Structures are given as structure tokens and as C-alpha cells.
Structure 1
């Protein structure tokens, strides 16, 4: 192994893995990614990226590619799912650029993944191994040694786990055999052509509907050609939680929305009317991180959902993985430190922010799904304070400043 140029092994080739590969390459490391899937395929639905994330993508030279595939909503609107009444709104678009130095964008998950894949494939010293999951960590003394189906022994200077919320390798590294927590929340999601959406909802904006024990969100993706629609309800999950999504019964969703306003039901009904299909995503997470040991140990680091799976109520799951990758880049570039110290520096600089986002995401879910007096108080506060509550300066600035936002 070249003593001058370090090599990072990455288990997982999703958004977290590709972002990490890009960051490590910019830090001057060679990278070998080991991905379970035989080919990258279009999975998932929409992703919201705040200016805190867009700035990281810009730093990697991806602004032009991002603009070619994303949508840029002009405002965020919150409504009562029961009455249909608008509760509050806040500007996005140019206002976010002025306040935080980058736009707030919405993008198809597959487009974001491909943007990162193409960037990685253009980097010298980065190799993607498809159909080659990391099956076992053989050793971590001096070098990280792994085994895959085709490679009985692969050595690297460090190993990064980017294999998601259901990571099979995490327990052996952290000594934590606990399983992710079942949240009791189910996300129904669909993508439909914007032309099939009721005319009143074809605008470039993010709309959130807040109801008792449920909420919905929809926004444009793929340059505004598609609408991403997610409805999250509380209820029992399917038995198999390890699958990304499940066939969902539209009738079950319709029953959950029986008490909702006609406008929301019209948007939801456009999925079936357009021939679209609902997919079901049971939400699982882990408790917020309690220290850097949850993100690095010795020659192994963890990134994204493998380290800090979170609920989607702050729209920062993919964003925190990309922020992780940017911090990993900075840490890996510290050539005067040994590798384990670099990874610990990465973890020290990331765990508190990730823990805060995890905790705030849980709190937001309680607020979004509030019932009774709490729901009345939420709606009153939104009508009174509006944009101030919906903005999240500490998150979008990327610092620890205090805020009263959601």
C-alpha cells in the first residue's frame, strides 16, 4: 500500500457513501466503494436540501449539475389538514440565498444520487465495486481488513460504514447489538406528473398539511416536472422493516384521511387518478447520539443513517450525511495526525449537531401530529408568528446558534 496516499474503504454506495467517497477523494485519499446492488437504480422519492447542504455541494463544484435537475421552491406554506386553512408561510427562493448564502432546493433522490455518482466517477483513484457487500470485518489492527464475495481480503487505511439504518456491520464495530427503534409512523409516498396535479397545487412551493396524528407534504422535483407527495400517519408497521418500501393499499390511506379537508384529499386522490402507486416506508430511527463514540472507533467511521438515523420531520436525513462527508473530508486531510485521530476529530466535530437534529426531528413529529390543546396552540402560534417559527437559522447557517424555529 502506498504510504503517501491513504486508502479509504466504504461499505455502501448510497447517497452517504457517494458523498463520503467524493469528500475523501478531495482530501487526497484513494477510495474503494463496496456496494451491495449489482447496478445503481432509481429508488426513493423526493429530498429537500436546505442551504446548509447546498453550500457543501457547491464547494464540490456541483452547482451546475444540481441546478439542472432540482426545483427551487419559492415559499413554504403550512395548512390545517382538517380545515384547509393556511396557517403560515415563509419565503424560500432568493430570500434563502440572501439570508444563508445558498438556495433551498427539492430534488428526486435518484437525481441527487446520480449527481454524486457522476462526480465520483470523474475522480482519479475512486473505484466502485458493484454486487460486493462488505460481508465481514476481518481486522482493524494497523490496517482495516474486510471480506466481500469476490475479494477474500481487502486492506485499507480506514473503513467507513455507509450501509444505512439497518447496517449489518455497526454492531461489530460499536459493540451495540440494539436494533433501530420502530417509530410507529408510516410514510406513504408517491410521485406523479405535475400536469396531473390539481391546478391550485402546481406552484413551485413546499406545502405542509398538519393534522391530528398525521401530516402531509408535497413539493416539486425534477425541474418541476414531478410532484413528490408524502403522507405520514401513525399506525402499526409491516412485519419486514428492513425493506426500503412496501406495496401500500390506497384504501388504508384514504381511511386515515377521512377527517381531512377536501383540498388535501384532492391532492392525494390525484395519485390514483394519474395511475400512480403509493409505496409505504415504515419509519425507524435511533436515539440521538450521546457522544463521538457513535460515529467513530479506531480505524472505523460511520456516516449518515448508519450512525444517526433520524425521522424526516426536519427534512435533514440526506443533508446530515452530506454534512458528515464534508467534515470527513476536512478530517482526512489532516496529514499530520494518525488515521484513528483524524476519524475521532471527524466524530467530535459532528456528533453534537447530528444529535441536535435527531432530537429536533422527534420534537417536530410531536408538533406536526399534535392533538387537542397542543394542536390548538400550535395552530395559534403559527398564525401569530408565522415565518419566524418556520425558519431554522441554527440549522441553515450550520452553526449552534439558538433559534425558536420548528
Structure 2
């Protein structure tokens, strides 16, 4: 039976949810508050777990046109550039997990999802449409957008990000997002503009005292995404994850680092900053669904980027949500959403907790840094591989 479903948020999680639900036979009204459907930011790493879900949504060919497939993950020390560990990706990841490890530009992935949603007859995209009112009854949810009109549906899906409006409708919305004191600096480099020695087909990671940095290819390998995550917060709006910043601010936060990494930082023409917030890991299904309201992605479980799974978990949520609502009629929606939350909350909580733990490990200083580096040299790929995550 076809349901009428309302989705708040037109980012990656919202579009993936709308597409998955429409492919499941339901009608979807999606609401995006911005005047234009667009995505800010730079690179995203997509583990095989996320790539398999995108393939299940029929996006394999489209993903191939935008993605880079790095051949190796290499971890080095930020202060002297010595290699600590490496993990084969490429064909190794494909054979081990049934899908490749991909790196994409966030806007490119958003564009693929948006094009697929626009082509689906059962997805209606409403923008600009900022939800101003949410009303619930036993058998429906009604929303109003900017006071213009009302829509009624069998359920409302909150995919409206870290500062979610829909989350307040849950029985246990929890506290507001907390500032972490960490900031991500982001920039992009054209590979053809770089010396040959700086061009790369790898995911390169440098670990330092209270910081780490990544360089990896996106947009079919044409660009390099450069990210530095440090325990420092720039001035600016805490809710703005695309703040203007400078190389001076970045270098003040990072201090001295090896020449190889410093050369990448100097080559970036424009830097943007993102002040990191998160919430405590989920403690139960009530934080993901209540009656006819459900959450996906950052609205439910924002996570630090130290496991590179924010987008991946949102995509997993979308596919799991559609599976839980498959064949449901209107009266079965609350139970179906509870099944979704029960199926997802523990995995999301595990990823949230592991991302926090990785931040502590990546940014270790003093004796802890020495112990970490020793363990990486001894165990290498066994520490870097994540079968529980990529195979899940």
C-alpha cells in the first residue's frame, strides 16, 4: 500500500530517504528550506557499506561518473612524515566487501541523488520550504511550511541535520548539540596544477599532536580534498559549517608540521572552516523514532568525522527506513518506524562512539602518541581495516 510520506531536509540523508521510499512504492513530499538545492563542503569518503546502499538504489553508474577510487590508505606522522601504516583499498576492498571504497565531492554526490529524486514521479521537491508548524494525530502528521500551506502525511521523516527542528517532536529529543572545541579546515586542489610528486591516488593521513590531516582524490581524481582537523575553534557562527578562514588561522592551530604536509597546505588557494559539534552516542531507539516521527542522519546521530561515516550512516538509515516501511499500511506506520529505530540505533551509536575514540587516538600527544605509533607500525592494516563497519 502506498503511503504519503513527508521528508524534512534536502541534503544527502533527505534525498537518499526520499529516493529509497519512492522506490519502495510510496509518495514523498520533501521540504528544503534553502531557495536552491545545493550542498556546501568538499570531500566525502564512502566506505563499501555506503557504496553498496547507493548501488542498491540504482546509482552505481552515476556514482562511477563522479567518484575516485583510491588504491591505498597511508598513515604518516605529521611531524616527520615517517610512514606508520597502510591499508590496500582498490580491488582489495572490492573483493573483501563487495563494493569499492570511493571518495567523492559532496556536491557531486548530492547532485546524483537530486537528479534521481527529480526523475522519480513519486517525489515532489518543495523549496524554499521551511517547516514552521508540525501537528500530530493518531493517524497522520500535518506540516506547514512558512505558513503558506499545509501537507498531511502518514509519517514525517526528519533529515534536517544537526540543528533539527523535527527532533523536538520525539519523546526523547535529548540536549542540544555540544561544541567539541575541534575545527575542520577544508580546501581543494586541482591535481593538474600540482607538481607530479604531490599528485595522489591515495588517501593520505598525517597524525600529530592534537590534530590530523587528510589528502585524498575526489571528482574522478581531478581534485585533491585537503582537510585538517585540529583542537581549536575559529571565531564565527557556531552553526555555520562553511566559514571563511585563512592559512594563517590554520597554521596558528596546527603549529609546525612536516614539509610534505606543509606544501599541501600552502598550495590550497581558499580555506573554509567548520566548527565541529556532536551529541552523545544514542542510548536507545526512542532517540530515532516516536509514533509517526523518525529521524535519519545527523538529525538523529551527529558524529565526529574521525571515522568518515557521517554520510554513510545517513545513507544506511535511508535504505533501512524504506525496508521497514515496505508493504506497510497507514495503521502500521508507528510499528514500522519502531522496527527501523530498533534496527539502526545500536550500529549508529557504535559508529558515534568509535568516531569519538578515534579523535582521541588520532590527536594523541606525548607517551600516548608513542604507543599509538608503535602499535600502527607493528599491526598496520589490521588496525586500519574495519570489517565490522564496511561489511555491516
- Give TM-score scaled by structure 1 length: 0.94
Q: 2 CA distance for matches of 1:238 and 1:138?
A: 37
SS at match of 2:341: helix
- Give the aligned partner of residue 34 of structure 2: 37
- Give the aligned partner of residue 402 of structure 1: none
- Paired residues of 1:185 and 1:235 also in contact (CA < 8 A): yes
**1:20 counterpart (17, 21, 31):** 17
Alpha-carbon distance, 1:140 to partner: 3.5
- Give the aligned partner of residue 285 of structure 1: 278
Alpha-carbon distance, 1:244 to partner: 2.0
Q: 2 CA distance for matches of 1:308 and 1:347?
A: 12
- Give the aligned partner of residue 380 of structure 1: 374
Query: Aligned ranges for residues 233-312 of structure 1 at < 5 Å?
Result: 233-271=230-268, 276-312=269-305
Alpha-carbon distance, 1:239 to partner: 4.8
- Paired residues of 1:197 and 1:267 also in contact (CA < 8 A): no
Runs of 4+ more than 6 Å apart: none
Q: 2 CA distance for matches of 1:157 and 1:328?
A: 14
Alpha-carbon distance, 1:42 to partner: 4.4
- Paired residues of 2:187 and 2:225 also in contact (CA < 8 A): yes
- Give the aligned partner of residue 362 of structure 2: 368
- Give the aligned partner of residue 110 of structure 1: 107
Q: 1 CA distance for matches of 2:225 and 2:245?
A: 16
**2:211 counterpart (209, 214, 232):** 214
- Paired residues of 1:132 and 1:150 also in contact (CA < 8 A): no
Query: Aligned ranges for residues 171-210 of structure 1 at < 5 Å?
Result: 171-176=168-173, 178-210=175-207
Q: 1 CA distance for matches of 2:36 and 2:80?
A: 45
Q: 2 CA distance for matches of 1:84 and 1:140?
A: 60
Q: 2 CA distance for matches of 1:189 and 1:320?
A: 21
- Give the aligned partner of residue 348 of structure 1: 342
1:332 aligns with 2:325: yes
What is the root-mean-square deviation of aligned Cα atoms in Å?
1.3
- Give the aligned partner of residue 119 of structure 1: 116
Q: 2 CA distance for matches of 1:59 and 1:143?
A: 29
SS at match of 2:320: helix
- Give the aligned partner of residue 308 of structure 2: 315
**2:151 counterpart (149, 154, 157):** 154
Q: 1:293 to 1:177 in 2, by over 3 A?
A: closer
**1:169 counterpart (166, 169, 176):** 166
SS at match of 2:58: coil
1:67 aligns with 2:64: yes
- Paired residues of 2:40 and 2:242 also in contact (CA < 8 A): no
Alpha-carbon distance, 1:198 to partner: 4.2
Q: 2 CA distance for matches of 1:203 and 1:236?
A: 29
Q: 1:155 to 1:50 in 2, by over 3 A?
A: same
SS at match of 1:164: coil
Q: 2 CA distance for matches of 1:13 and 1:388?
A: 37
SS at match of 1:338: helix
Alpha-carbon distance, 1:178 to partner: 2.1
User: Which region of structure 1 is more displaced relative to structure 2, 170-179 or 83-92?
Assistant: 170-179
Alpha-carbon distance, 1:237 to partner: 4.6
Deviation digits for residues 240-263 of structure 1 (CA, Å, limit 9, x no counterpart): 211121111210212233321111
1:391 aligns with 2:347: no
Alpha-carbon distance, 1:181 to partner: 1.1
SS at match of 2:131: coil
- Give TM-score scaled by structure 2 length: 0.97
Q: 1:140 to 1:249 in 2, by over 3 A?
A: farther
- Give the aligned partner of residue 48 of structure 2: 51
Alpha-carbon distance, 1:335 to partner: 2.4
- Paired residues of 2:211 and 2:231 also in contact (CA < 8 A): yes
